[in-house]
Amino acid sequence: MRIRVIGAPIDLGADRRGVDIGPRAIRYAGLNDQLHRLGHTVNDVGNLDVPLPENQPTGNPRLKYLEPITKLAEDLAHTVSDALAEQEFPLILGGDHSMALGSISGVASKHKNLGVIWVDAHADFNIESTTPSGNIHGMILAALAGLGEEQLVNVCGWAPKIDKNKIVILGARDLDEGEQRLLREQHIHVFTMSDIDRRGIATVMQQAIEIAGADNGPIHLSLDLDSLDPKEAPGVGTPVRGGLSYREAHFAMEMLAESARLVSMDVVEVNSILDRENATAQLAVELTLSALGKKIL
């Protein structure tokens, strides 16, 4: 496969600084080299330009940095749809999770029946009235489903990007009150950590692939590193105890590779300031390799 690596070093959607270093940290952990060794061709187009919070107005405190976040989303959407048009698999490195607004908008413009598997401790399903933080990375999945602030929802001039029946959240364990209500009202498929405890990662992942990939449709994977247990992934801005184990996460990625339905992937929320000797970036590389076909034997 030909893979186009795209860096989106944005930290405007989150509070803790340091995710903007994520794309470099993931590259330093040997991403391109290892993808190459797996047999892929790698076309790394570098990082998109993202303004610093230091020289941007915060704007509405319930939708912080809305303007620059939507601008990056549009740039990224174009970069991603160009990659697909040229038969390359977009692998987008974050940055905070707000960048998925751009990546998924780009993929959805090419694949009309796209499903999304959102692997995350959080659901990122807040809207302006439910957000406890005003941080847009916590609102992105709702926006992609057509809910919330209209500037986010209508990025690239159309909406919704994803049919809400084709969204699956996996690994959730920290949902805000209003967010829970919204998830229930909208009948979003959420597999919590309790579901994984009860039924095992293999069964849950199988079902996730069936839902997101219904009618033989393509799947986008959005991997937030805080889905893993903080013992494995200490370098994230919003750690929550009780996450996916190392093997659970790998096995979920291996199942996705086996399904052969993946058309694009995000790797987000690696925070190098909070990391321990780049361990979280290394884990991000390992999981990416599993999702893109690496097997033990």
Ligand X SMILES: NC(=[NH2+])NCCC[C@H](N)C(=O)O
Catalytic residue positions, numbered? 97, 120, 122, 124, 137, 224, 226, 269
Q: Which two tokens stand for residue 259?
A: 């399904």
Helices (H) and strands (E) in the chain, counts: 11, 8
> Applying CB under 6 A, does 131 fall inside the site for ligand X?
yes
Whether a cis peptide bond, with omega within 30° of 0, leads into 242 is no
227: Cβ–Cβ under 8 A, 6 or more apart, which residues?
A: 119, 120, 121, 170, 171, 243, 244, 249
**Which partner in ligand X, Mn ion, none is near 133 (CB below 5 to 8 A by kind)?**
ligand X
Mark the segment that binds ligand X (CB under 6 A) among 24-32, 126-134, 150-158, 243-251: 126-134
Q: Please provide the DSSP assignment of 148-181 as one string.
A: S-HHHHTGGG---SS-GGGEEEEEE----HHHHH
In the complex with ligand X, the residue whose CB is nearer, 139 or 253, is: 139
Angle between helices 100-110 and 66-85 (to 10 degrees): 40
**Which partner in Mn ion, ligand X, none is near 254 (CB below 5 to 8 A by kind)?**
none
> Which position among 39, 46, 57, 132 is part of the footprint of ligand X (CB under 6 A)?
132
The answer to whether the annotation marks 224 as part of a ligand binding site is yes
In the complex with Mn ion, the residue whose CB is nearer, 42 or 140, is: 140
> Which position among 11, 88, 224, 248 is part of the footprint of Mn ion (CB under 5 A)?
224
Nearest to 250 by CA among 197, 216, 205, 218: 205
One character per residue 74-113, x = contact with ligand X (rule: CB under 6 A): -----------------------x----------------
> Which position among 4, 40, 64, 122 is part of the footprint of ligand X (CB under 6 A)?
122
> Which position among 11, 88, 226, 266 is part of the footprint of Mn ion (CB under 5 A)?
226
Q: Are 132 and 180 in contact (CB under 8 A)?
A: no
Q: Which two tokens stand for residue 196?
A: 């994984």
Tell me which residue has tokens 């009618």: 215
- Report d(CA 17, CA 5) in Å as an integer: 23
Detail the DSSP E strand segments found in the chain: 2-8, 41-47, 89-94, 115-119, 167-172, 189-192, 219-224, 262-268
> Applying CB under 6 A, does 273 fall inside the site for ligand X?
no
> Applying CB under 6 A, does 138 fall inside the site for ligand X?
yes
CA distances from 296 to 37, 191, 262 (A): 14, 26, 20
| Nearest approach, Cβ of residue 22 and ligand X (Å) | 12
Tell me which residue has tokens 């406890």: 132
In the complex with ligand X, the residue whose CB is nearer, 19 or 35, is: 19
> Which position among 133, 151, 180, 192 is part of the footprint of ligand X (CB under 6 A)?
133
> Applying CB under 6 A, does 62 fall inside the site for ligand X?
no
> Which position among 11, 232, 266, 269 is part of the footprint of ligand X (CB under 6 A)?
269
Torsion, Cα of 280, 2, 264, 111 (10° steps): 170
| Nearest approach, Cβ of residue 296 and ligand X (Å) | 30
Binding footprint of ligand X on the chain (CB under 6 A): 97, 122, 124, 126, 131-133, 135, 137-138, 176, 224, 226, 238, 269
Binding footprint of Mn ion on the chain (CB under 5 A): 97, 120-122, 124, 224, 226
Show binding-site residues for Mn(2+).
97, 120, 122, 124, 224, 226
